Structure 1
Amino acid sequence: MRSSFKQCFGLLLISVLLLSLFFAWSPGSLSVVDIRPKLRGQIDIILEEKIQNIISGYDVAHRLAQNTCMCLADEETFRLPFSNLLFPRVWAHNISLAFLESHPDPSGVQRHRAQEYSKFQERSYSPADVLIVAEANSPLQYPTQGVEVRPLKTIIIPGLGLKEETGSKIKHTVYLTATLGTFDVAATVERVSVEGQGEKHMILSSPLLSALNRQLKFVTYTNTVFHPKTADTVQFSTDVHQSFFTIKVGHGTLPKLYNSGYQSEYNISALVTIATKTFLRYDKLKDLIDSIRQYYPTVTIVIADDNEHPQPVTGPHIDHYIMPFGKGWFAGRNLAVSQVTTKYVLWVDDDFIFTAKTKLEMMVDILEKTTLDLVGGAVREVTGYAATFRHTMSVEYGGEEGDCLHIRTGYHHVIEGFPNCVVADAVINFFLARTYKVQGGFNPRLARHGHLEFFIDALGSLHVGSCSDVIVSHASKIIPPWSKTESQKSYDKFRYSFSNADNDVHKEDFYFKNRFKCMTSH
């Protein structure tokens, strides 16, 4: 009995030892890294205190924005026919009130939004965005920007130095502190003491300033926390002075290139795909296709179709995709644009008509020669007026209740070299865009309307322009009620009747997804 117990105990002991060795040798257990989002570290707190000390005592600092934006409408001083057209008045919309008053659990959704926003801030935070001020008369020399390292790789930090006068001290000492990596030296210099090699905090000292500065030329930084795109804020200091600089950590940006073939002139068929969404308007779609073929016979046309009873749309260079019934405009946009393989995609409504003034070459030219991501044209209505729908937008930061969105009719400035083109934030529903910049960018929850919402979501990521000399015509919408077909009546019913559910989606989109509390506009 005792012999059996000893054998079992021996087998158990051996098993434990083998398991311990296995986990010790397992590659996955060599290092454990906390990749949870972090908002602020000790270095960030020190930086904030230094900035507050710099601006304290100046009255102007108290007059700056304090994250308490307000949306105020213009007072209506007089009322005349068409006064809003002649003298545009700013109106204000309280998004928080409109959304919360109809929500069954307003306090609960407020808490949920606050939690989601906090997580978003953690994910999007980058130490490279923290304000760093290099104070005057510091003897420390360091790189202010342009230092980058690939994730988990090593670099030599350029430009480190100390400019104290020779012989002013018995011993010269500098300190380096990091958060996401460690320091080391690529080579050692005589009469220099180095402590903390391979750690986040390293001390270098020497009685000879020249030796210390030579050693600083060999200081390396190794990133130890993998992240595809972030930054480490490095503290570089002496016993008296402090300085900070950032090392960007991340993979390089991979290019997205389109092989359109070498060409001395723009080959529109190789560069552009035309995308549209159709619903209950096959007659209008046919007119659009016929007009395109008159000027661009070989350009590919991608059609997203969410009709209940789809009809075949055939012809050369036409891709026709059938969707579930009534999925909506933005879902159709996402589908159509997702199938584009050319460098540029032209978005058109299915009731547009190409004319001799619909010169896609001009739109391609401005995208090829500028940094714009998207350029809109003009849409000529049956009245002869060509609309460009140019708007500027800005977000004013607010407090816990949310931010304020301000939309104004107009543009920022004219584009040099293109006198008929301007920079704006939102343009007409006829635009040419870099394909990869707009793929997947349309909110599929917005079914019947939401053109402006696309540009709101793209604010800060899309560089937008508008050219008034590229014009597409709009099929006439003036149809006597008694002459409308059943198809036209069905289309009007879907297009122009907004249910409470549709309105609730828009309210939620602004209040929760974009975290707005109010908006103003002309």
Structure 2
Amino acid sequence: MHKTSKKCVGLIVCIGVLLFLHHVWCPGSSSEVDIRPRQGGTIKELLDGKIRDITGSYNDITYHIKEDVACRLAQNTCVCLADKETFKLPFSNLLNPHVWANNFDVAFLESHPDPEGVKRHRAQEYSSFQSRSFSPADLLIVAEANSPLQYPTQGVEVRPLKTIIIPGLGLKEETKSSHTVSLTAKLGTFDVAATVDSVSVKGDGEMHMILSSPLLSALNRQLQFVTYRNTVFHPKTADTVEFATKGHQSFFTIKVGHGTIPRLYNSGYQREYNISALVTIATKTFLRYDKLKDLIDSIRQYYPTVTIVIADDNEHPQPVTGPHIEHYIMPFGKGWFAGRNLAVSQVTTKYVLWADDDFIFTANTKLEKMVDILEKTTLDLVGGAVREVTGYTTTYLHTISVEEGGEEGDCLHIRNGYHHVVKGFPNCVVADAVINFFMVRTDKVQQVGFNPRLARSAHLEFFIDALGSLHIGSCSDIIINHASKIHLPWGQTDDQKAYKKFRYSSSSANGNIINEIFYFKNRFKCMTSP
């Protein structure tokens, strides 16, 4: 009986240990989250309907177009016109430079073998870009009158030094002898694109404008034509507008800034993914030409025409040649992240796959799967799994959070695990940091960059810099092999000994740099991590 009790206790302890290890190594939510790109959906339709109801009111009230203001409004029909040729006087171009125009649609398409195909491909890429860059915070929302002022709470934007109609302005109050509202801005002026009879407008063309009328309906019709013109050039700011009536005051913001310029990649219109046109493989090598050769050979076995970009900071570089290989020589010992910056800077495809020089492609290293999830979701970066020679496979998943800490700096918290499973991709999860084998949107990784001061060892530092900029995932069924790191002391080559010396001898100096970067550059006062 005593032995049976011991066995039961032992079994319970074993089960407890297994459950604990499962919790430690497999944290995260098992729920699926849909992260496919979308543009508004039912909420946007509802808000658009409400805006139509607002703007459609008072249609029976006549108005008169104010041409000098209305002509400044965006027409969505831009054209590029060159100045007409005139008689030229000496030095006239210095005083009044001649404006030229170049129509890209004509210049590019007329020489293209498939102009309709490239137009379709560009439209597809732009639609994908719009879907990915959409944010519910950009939707126009109007706070219907409670105060009794009605005004937009978000979604109003103007280009620098341009003019827009302010949507959603209104006054909802009981009928009285006179109704008055005022608008005040700091970075622009107000005007009206059309005038309404029986409405008085004072201060048009100024930063403070007053509108009044004995007829509430006429005043509300006039408010539908109020314009805002940005007059202070600042490409990324916002003007806080005061909208007031007697006894009530409200504020709303108008964003001032340039629109996001699309960065589309002309990879050709294909029914299936053309990996060679979509992906570049980048790596950094140092004292491991034997490993680099194995990597290249393995890539060519599965992707014979994909471009490979190599950053090389060896003291005595060896030639690395072959079809679709770009070999860039760096100053000796420039370092790990500097090499990443160089390699990524030369990529011209939509995606770049990062692989260490001692990785080996296998039949499970399916780049098509990585492209598929990046094309169909809002993820910017997707990692895979690395299989060691022992057979152990890891995805190295982490979550990262920053807790505000006051004047002394913030607190950085890193934990093992992930946030949730990606709907439609059961082997993929969303995390904040992944293994050192990942595919990423080229323009996004170039925006984040790699700190070149981190020369010998670094990994999480990139993902910390990317927090808030990159949406990151990982798929456990996309696997790359890791060459063996086991070298017996008496069997090490001179290059292997030199690599070990460079890789590990300056760990304390590298640690000091990391402490400085976290403390000063990132303004952290501390970090917690398992």
Q: Same fold (TM over 0.5)?
A: yes
Structure 1 residue ranges without an equivalent (≥5): 1-80, 90-127
Q: Work out whether residues 278 and 350 of structure 1, in 8 Å CA contact, stay in contact via their aligned partners in 2.
A: yes
Tell me the equivalent position of 2:324.
317
User: Partner residue of 1:301?
Assistant: 308
The letter for the 1-side match of 2:289 is: Y
Give the residue type in structure 2 aligned to 1:250.
Answer: G
CA displacement, residues 332-364 of structure 1 (integer Å, 9 cap, x when unaligned)? 000001111111100000000000100100001
Partner of 2:161: 152
Deviations 1:134-185 (A, max 9, x none): 698311111222221111011111111101122xx32211111112111111
User: Residues 176-215 of structure 1: matches in 2 within 5 Å?
Assistant: 176-215=183-222
- Is 2:483 the counterpart of 1:475? yes
- Report the counterpart of residue 123 of structure 1 in structure 2: none
Deviation at 1:133, TM superposition (A): 12
Amino acid aligned to 1:138: S
AA at the equivalent of 1:269:
S
Does the 8 Å CA contact 1:380/1:473 hold for their aligned counterparts? yes
Give 1:490's aligned residue: 498
Q: Following the alignment from structure 1 to structure 2, what is the Cα–Cα distance between the partners of residues 429 and 492?
A: 19
1:309-352 residue CA offsets vs partner (Å, 9 max, x unmatched): 10111111110000000000100000001111111100000000
Does the 8 A contact of 2:143 with 2:152 survive in 1? no
Equivalent position of 1:446 in the other structure: 454
2:516 to 498, 501, 508: 508
| In 2: Cα distance, 1:288 partner to 1:315 partner | 13
- Distance in 1, Cα, partners of 2:336 & 2:19: 33
- Tell me the percent identity: 83
Question: What are the Cα deviations for residues 99-137 of structure 1, in whole angstroms up to 9, with x where unaligned?
Answer: xxxxxxxxxxxxxxxxxxxxxxxxxxxxx99xx996983
Q: Distance in 1 between matches of 2:415 and 2:324?
A: 40
Secondary structure, aligned partner of 2:433:
coil
Q: In the superposition, relative to structure 1, how do residues 447 and 83 fare at CA in structure 2: closer, same or farther (>3 Å)?
A: farther
- Say how many residue pairs are matched: 400
Q: Contact 2:187–2:230 (CA<8 Å) still a contact in 1?
A: yes
Residues of 1 paired with 2:278 and 2:289: CA distance?
27
**Equivalent residue number for residue 292 of structure 1:** 299
| Maintained 8 Å contact 2:163/2:227 | yes
Give the alignment partner of residue 165 of structure 1, picking from 165, 171, 174. 174
Whether the 8 Å contact between 1:180 and 1:223 is mirrored in structure 2 is: yes
Q: Give the Cα separation in 2 of the matches to 1:269 and 1:344.
A: 10
Q: Distance in 2 between matches of 1:177 and 1:285?
A: 64
Picking from 425, 445, 465, the partner of 1:418 is 425
Q: Distance in 2 between matches of 1:157 and 1:165?
A: 24
Change (3 A) 1:133 1:243: farther
Residue deviations 1:184-226 (CA, integer Å, cap 9, x gap): 1122223222222222111111222122112111111000111
Instruction: Specify the alignment match of 1:404 in structure 2.
Output: 411
2:190 alignment partner, SS class: strand
Aligned equivalents of 1:373, 1:88: Cα separation in 2: 27
Separation in 1, partners of 2:237, 2:178: 36
Higher-RCO chain (CA-CA 8 Å, sequence separation at least 6): 1
Q: 1:111-126, aligned counterparts within 5 Å?
A: none
**In structure 2, distance between residues paired with 1:208 and 1:87:** 68
* 1:395 aligns to 2:402 (yes or no): yes
Tell me, what secondary structure is at the counterpart of 2:518?
helix
> 2:352 is matched with which residue?
345
* Residue 520 to residue 229, structure 1, CA distance change in 2 (3 Å): same
The residue matched to 2:152 in structure 1 has which SS? coil
Instruction: Read off the aligned partner of 2:182 and give its amino acid letter.
Output: Y
**3-state SS in 2 of match to 1:212:** helix
Q: Is the 8 A contact 2:144 2:151 kept in 1?
A: no
User: Is the alpha carbon distance of 1:464 and 1:445 closer, same or farther for their aligned partners in structure 2, counting shifts above 3 Å?
Assistant: same
> Who is 1:29 aligned against?
none
Q: Which amino acid aligns with 1:453?
A: E
Greater displacement, 348-357 / 180-189: 180-189
Shifted more, 195-204 versus 285-294: the winner is: 195-204
Residue 266 (structure 2) aligned to one of 259, 273, 298:
259
Match of 1:9 in 2: none
Structure 1: distance between partners of 2:21 and 2:518: 26
What RMSD, in angstroms, separates the aligned Cα atoms of the two structures?
2.2
The structural deviation recorded for 1:235 is: 1.4
C-alpha distance in structure 1 between counterparts of 2:263 and 2:423, whole Å: 26
Cα distance in 2 for residues equivalent to 1:221 and 1:421 = 47
Q: 1:138 to 1:87 in 2, by over 3 A?
A: closer
Q: 1:133 to 1:267 in 2, by over 3 A?
A: closer
Pick closer, same or farther for the CA change 1:409–1:500 going to 2, 3 Å.
Answer: closer
Shift of 1:85: 6.8
Task: Indicate conservation of the 8 Å contact 1:134/1:243, yes or no.
Answer: no
CA contact (8 A) 2:388 2:481 kept: yes
> 2:245 corresponds to which residue?
238
- Secondary structure of 2:318's partner? coil
Q: Does 1:456 align with 2:456?
A: no
Shift of 1:502: 2.1
Cα distance in structure 1, aligned partners of 2:221 and 2:445: 50
Matches of 1:84 and 1:383, distance apart in 2? 24
Shift of residue 83 of structure 1? 13
CA distance in 2, matches of 1:414, 1:294: 32
Change (3 A) 1:208 1:135: closer
- Give the alignment's TM-score, normalised by structure 2: 0.72
Q: Match of 2:512, SS?
A: helix
SS of alignment partner, residue 142 of structure 1: strand
Q: Distance in 2 between matches of 1:389 and 1:331?
A: 23
Q: Secondary structure at the match of 1:442?
A: coil
The CA deviation at 1:445 is 0.7
SS at match of 1:377: strand
SS at 2:311 equivalent? strand
Contact 2:454–2:513 (Cα < 8 Å) also in 1: yes
- Please name the residue that 1:432 is paired with: 439
Residues 67-103 of structure 1: per-residue CA shift (max 9 Å, x gap): xxxxxxxxxxxxxx999978869xxxxxxxxxxxxxx
Structure 2 equivalent of residue 218 of structure 1: 225
The 8 Å contact of residues 145 and 170 in structure 2, kept in 1 or not, is answered as no
Match of 1:386 in 2: 393
> In structure 1, how many angstroms separate the alpha carbons of the residues matched to 2:529 and 2:244?
50
Equivalent-residue separation in structure 2 for 1:146 and 1:296 (angstroms): 45
Q: Distance in 1 between matches of 2:367 and 2:194?
A: 59
Q: 1:138 aligns with which of 147, 158, 168?
A: 147
Aligned residues of 2:281 and 2:353 also touching (Cα < 8 A): yes
State the secondary structure of the residue aligned to 1:143: strand
Q: What letter matches 2:257 in structure 1?
A: G
Separation in structure 2 between the aligned mates of residue 86 and residue 372 of structure 1, nearest angstrom: 27
Q: Check whether the contact 2:398–2:415 (CA below 8 A) recurs between aligned residues.
A: yes
